[in-house]
Amino acid sequence: MLQWLAANAATMIVCAVLAFLFVLAVRRIYRTRKSGGCAGCSGCSGCSSCCCSQMEPEKAEVKNKL
């Protein structure tokens, strides 16, 4: 068991760092969305009002036209 851990230590460290960075990214997105900010919508330039919520009525209009 100890031999396997020694052989795979680098892989485990890289995976742990990647998992940590993923958790930080998710946490930032959650906090940004909770505070009313935009968390990276396409076409959004970081405005204070998220463009994602503005896109929903447009989608409904397109569906009604079809």
Q: State the pLDDT at residue 36.
A: 82
Terminal Cα-to-Cα distance of the chain (whole angstroms): 63
Q: State the pLDDT at residue 49.
A: 55
Rounded Cα gap, residues 26 and 53, in angstroms: 20
Q: State the pLDDT at residue 44.
A: 62
The pLDDT tens digits of the residues spanning 15-66 come to: 999 999 999 999 999 998 888 877 776 666 555 555 555 555 555 555 556 6
Work out the number of other CB atoms within 10 angstroms of the CB of residue 9: 10
**Residue boundaries of the structural domains of the chain:** 2-65
pLDDT at 11 over 80: yes
Q: Which of 55, 61, 25 is nearest to 43 (CA)?
A: 55
